[in-house]
Structures are given as C-alpha cells and as structure tokens.
Amino acid sequence: MKKVFICLTLLLFVVPIALIGVGCKPAETTATEAEEVEAVPEKVTEEEVKKEQVVLEIWDSEDREPAKIAWDYLLQEFKKEYPYITVEVSSVSWGDMFTKVEAGLRTDTLPDILMSWGSLPPQFARMGAIQPITDVIEDIGEDQFPVSTMKYYKFDGEYIAMPVAIYTDVLFYRSDVYKELGLEAPTTWDEVLENSKAIMDNTDMYGFGLYMAEHEADIFYGLMGCNDGAIVGPDGESITINSPETIEVLEYLKELYKYSSADMLVKSAGDVRVLVMEGNVGQILTSTSFCANIQSLEDTSMEFSAVTFPTNKGNRGAMFNPVTYEITKSTDHPEEAKLLLKFMCRDDITLEFHKLYIPGHVPALKSVNENEEFWNSPNVIDLVDIIKAGVTANEKAILAAQELGPNSVSGVIMGTGIVGSMVQKVLLDGWGPQEALEWCEQKLIEALE
C-alpha cells in the first residue's frame, strides 16, 4: 500500500486507507475505587494482574469501508474473549506512516502495533522500531504463509512482521473481448504481445495499458522478476542491473509500447486504470486491488478476468505488496499485542475477517485460501478467478528491486526515479537499451555512494 526515505515501494498503492477501533480508555479511578483497590489482598495472582485493564494502540492506514467492517467484527470478537484489553486504532495515512514512525521513535510515542506494507518492516527493524515476533509466526504455523512473502520479513534471523493480506500484480484482461476475438489467456510473453496486437487491430482499444511515470516504474520491476533479472546482487548491495536479462526487459517494453499510447508513459497506474474502466484498454498488469474499481463499474457489459503474468526466465514472478502488522519495541504490553496478532489468524476469526475485507485482497493464510466458504462468500464469489490468480502469483512474487531477496538499498533505488527515467529514455527519447542501461547503472551507483 508511500520521502526519498526508503519506502517508495508502497507506490503501487496510492489509495489512502484507515481503521476503526473498539472501546475507550479506562475511566479514571475514583476515591471509592482507590479504597477498594487498597482492600485487595496483597498476594495477587499473575492471572489477576494480567486481567487489569490494558489499552493497545494501533497505527493503521486502512479506511475503506470493507476494512472498517472487518475490523469492527474482529475487535468485537476479541473483546468478548479478552474483556480486559481495549484496542484503540488511530488512522495514519499511507504517505505519513514512515515519517510518523521516525518521529515516534525519537519521542518515544510509538503505539503498541504498527500496520505497514511492502519493504517497510525491514526498514523499521533497522531503525530499532519493532521487535521480533518469531514465536507468533511459529504459533500460527510458518507453513500457513507463502514462503516468497515471509523471506522479506526476517531480520537477523527473526520474523519481524505478520502478513495479513497481499495485493499481487496480475494481468487483468477484458474477458468479453477475449471471447469475442477467440483469444486464450496468455502463458508466455509472446502470447501477451499477440493478444495485445489482436485487441489493437480489431477494436478501438489499446492492447496493453503501459504506465511508466518516473516514480512508478512498476511494470519494469515486475518484468525484471519475471525474467530472472536482478537490480541488486545477492550481497544486497552491489548494482547488477546491467545484464542481458535487463536488456530483454527493455526490448520487451518497446514491444508492449507498440500497443499503448504515448502519453501512457507519463501516467500512473491509477490513470491507466481509469482508461481501462472507460473501455479504452484491453489489458493491464496491475495489483489485485483493481477489483474494487471493477466492482464500481456501472457498465455491466464489460467483463474482466486475470492470470499471473507469465514468467519468461527463472522461477520468480511479478510484484506484490503485503499488508503486515508489527509489534513495536516500546510497547508496555507485548504479550497482549501478541495475543491480538494470533487472534487475527485463528481459523474461525480470520475466515470471517477475510469474507468481509476489501475486495481483491489475497488472504495471506493458507487456511483461508483453502476454505470453500471464503470463495463462496458474497464479497468474493464474483472475483474468484482474479483472486485465485493472485494466490498463485504470491508463490513466486517479488518486492521491487529485491528480486533476489530483501536488501537495504531498494528504497533509494526506487526513490531516485532513475529506473523510470531509464525506461523513458528508451521508449520516448530513442536511446538504445544498452546505452540507457549503462547510464542507469552509473546513476544508481552514484546515488548509493
């Protein structure tokens, strides 16, 4: 789900979001109550101490209505089982989360739990803002989470974040147009191009919705994952973008560009989504969050489906953006915070939560994805093909500029806009791929020095 600060991975999701909490702060103790407290026997059991009122504060960025409904349900159920714990959720916008955590760390005003996404958790861990939660993940079951997701949330050998929902880039296509033209869902890069050409030649639409605004080079990053390319080497520091795999990605983008409009290169994903919804584009590589746009369509003649974008080389795929929760190091209530995280993932609770949650999200937990009750729920049943494409894509998805795994330099790489500028030099300014790539490599090295 936003700062040459190291977290522009969150650019894929520029939709602002917030949650609501349940309960209120404990009332002030009156004189009579104080006398009653003094009357309590000196020997108080550990369990009784735990049942004293505890307030957990969460900073969260989700404010879409389905998220509010889902969290209302979850916190009401949590309160029933843990009446001594009150959860207060404060809204922090996507774009403000990183700077607010920085400030909270300096002033010792961090909450108990943070909601974040993408590459933020490792950055928070390096800052010393969050604590390990390996015991939480182990209690839930490591095998419940996609391996490709969890590799990004280990720091110094410990898990530091718990993914709840994942928004994965998949290839959306107009299934009604595919049917009309006799097209099949693509399984190779060449078939994506062939379908793009068929749409362009036989309709009044563009065949592919290419977007490449300077700070939103998401399609490039996704294609790097799908082509076994790596911007950063296995050491997590060296720049390895100058490779045959990257040349192939740039050449492929030139082909895709033939079926897009010139101005799409200065548009964001959101801009091109609007064009898709207006019936001007037949295919787009974007996040499963696009489901919310589809559900808002008044034109019911437009039909959509999705597949994972084909892997051309290697065993990795396109990008994803996990939504995660972390426990801060400054919390006074680590055990209660862990109780809440584990409660969120209990089979019955997490199933109901995801049945209510935002359309197009992909549940992180296997227990939900393997439950037919989830797939048959009203919020999901019309999106089954798309969300299942996201589930499959999660098995090999990457974070931008982290094709080989987590590193500490991806934020700088993305924040500079150098990669997007390289792509525009190739597609708009007529530079050769190798020339543009050498320019990009040098600029990235300078940016990291």
- Across 16-25, 103-112, 207-216, least confident range: 16-25
pLDDT band at 404 (very low <50, low <70, confident <90, very high): very high
CATH superfamily entry for domain 8-30+50-166+321-394: Periplasmic binding protein-like II (3.40.190.10)
Who contacts 381 (Cβ-Cβ below 8 Å, separation ≥6)?
375
Beta bridge pairs of residue 85: 54
- Across 61-65, 323-327, 369-373, 398-402, least confident range: 61-65
Domain ranges in the chain? 8-30+50-166+321-394, 168-319+404-448
Judge whether 8-30+50-166+321-394 and 168-319+404-448 match in fold.
yes
CATH number of the 168-319+404-448 domain: 3.40.190.10
Cα 377 to Cα 65, 120, 164, 373, distances in angstroms: 17, 31, 18, 6
* Whole-number pLDDT of residue 35: 38
Does 38 or 228 have the greater pLDDT score? Answer: 228
Tell me the two tokens of residue 126. Answer: 């390096």
pLDDT at 385 over 60: yes
Q: Do the beta carbons of residue 101 and residue 93 sit within 8 Å?
A: no
* Whole-number pLDDT of residue 215: 66
Nearest Cα to Cα of residue 284 among 299, 298, 268: 268
Q: What is the pLDDT of residues 115-156, one digit of tens each?
A: 999 999 999 999 999 999 999 999 999 999 999 999 999 999
Cα 304 to Cα 192, 279, 299, 318, 324, distances in angstroms: 16, 11, 12, 19, 28
pLDDT at 6 over 70: no
Taking residues 21-46, report their average pLDDT. Answer: 39
Taking residues 22-39, report their average pLDDT. Answer: 37
Strands 162-174 and 154-155, sheet pairing: unpaired
* Whole-number pLDDT of residue 262: 78
What is the DSSP code string of 292-324?
HHHHT-S-TT--EEEEPPPP-BSS---BEEEEE
Q: Do the beta carbons of residue 300 and residue 247 sit within 8 Å?
A: no
For residue 261, count other CB atoms closer than 10 A to its CB: 15
